[in-house]
Amino acid sequence: MPRAAGLAAGLLALGLASCDKGTRLEVAPRQASLPPGGSQQFTVLVTRSASTNVRWRVASGGGVISPFGLYKAPHYTPVPVTVTVRAQIDERSDARTAADVRAGVTASPHDDALVTREAGEFPGAATCRDTSQARLPELGEAVTVDSLPRPLVRVSPIYPDTARSRGVQGTVRLAGLLCRTGRIADTWVFESVPLLDRAAENAARQWVFAPARARGDSIAVWVFFSFRFSLHGPVTAAARFDPSPLGMEPEPGEASHR
């Protein structure tokens, strides 16, 4: 098969899969183009199957994806990279789609800092982790601690007027990189309500914690926030630490540089 025809056939095959029993998965969009640090919500249509328990996976070093299919590209890529995102119900039903990530460094999720988490290069990175940590933990990476982080200052979001006037409510769940100083340095929304996300992130960044500790030292970890916005009551807020957050299991060998 000529190379051009083979490439076209490969692109058409992205996002669609079936197995011997007839289970069929279709992922949308078929292909996405993102800047460093960009986000893309992937969805999957499951047919001919009694199960709808879809598992999302992404290659190691190719960003992260939540259990709900919300993908976030790496904050830093020295060269353009194509990442394979997989949706799977069982070993025989597997659908794949591509995320093309442009080279460069992103501005942080907020405009007040430059966050390139994979490279550990952002203002305050040197003081965010303890010297006992070789690098900052990645989102989804298991971290062993002797004592859990404990919130000292809790801040509830301010309900955005635009969201309230449009009748928008719901729960925003996000991850926050908690430095050894007890402050949140980075955030990532993995369950989104678009008109409420920024308010939730702003609130999370104002929380102060007694940091996690390991072997007697304060260390950097990820904590997880839940902010529930209701039109009929106050905004409720909660935070927790999970040593193996989000159930992300990256697979090696599926990120290809081009």
Where residue 171 sits, what CATH number does that domain have? 3.30.2420.10
Domain boundary among 83, 105, 127: 105
Q: For 165-170, what is the mean pLDDT? A: 93
Tally of structural domains, the chain? 2
| Per-residue pLDDT at 130 | 79
pLDDT band, residue 37 (cuts 50/70/90): confident
Question: To the nearest whole percent, how much of the chain has pLDDT over 90?
Answer: 24
pLDDT for res 106: 54
Better-predicted residue by pLDDT, 84 or 200: 200
Strand-pair category, 31-34 with 93-101: parallel
Note whether residue 257 is domain-resident.
Answer: no
Write the CA distances from 211 to 71, 109, 129, 148, integer angstroms: 28, 23, 11, 7
- Mean pLDDT across the chain: 74
Which of the four pLDDT bands, split at 50, 70 and 90, describes residue 22? low
Average pLDDT score over residue span 84-92: 79
> Does residue 10 form part of some domain?
yes
Whether 121 and 235 share a structural domain = yes
CATH number at residue 47: 2.60.40.60
**258: in domain:** no
Do residues 236 and 141 both lie within one domain? Answer: yes
- Between residues 126 and 11, the one the model is more confident about: 126
- Each residue of 125-155: pLDDT tens digit? 678 887 888 888 877 677 788 899 999 999 9
Task: Tell whether 59 and 133 lie within a shared domain.
Answer: no
pLDDT at 188: 83
**Domain span at residue 128?**
117-247
Is the same domain home to 121 and 61? Answer: no
The answer to whether residues 137 and 23 belong to one domain is: no
Residue 252 included in any domain: no
In a domain, 226, yes or no: yes
Same domain for 160 and 124: yes
176 and 94 within one domain: no
In the chain, the percentage of residues whose pLDDT exceeds 70 is: 72
Domain identity same for 180 and 237: yes
Same domain, 84 and 136: no
Question: Does the residue 110 lie in any domain?
Answer: no
Say whether both 131 and 51 belong to one domain: no
pLDDT higher than threshold 50 for residue 20: no
Residues 23 and 122 in one domain: no
160 pLDDT above the threshold of 70: yes
Position 46 pLDDT exceeds 90: no
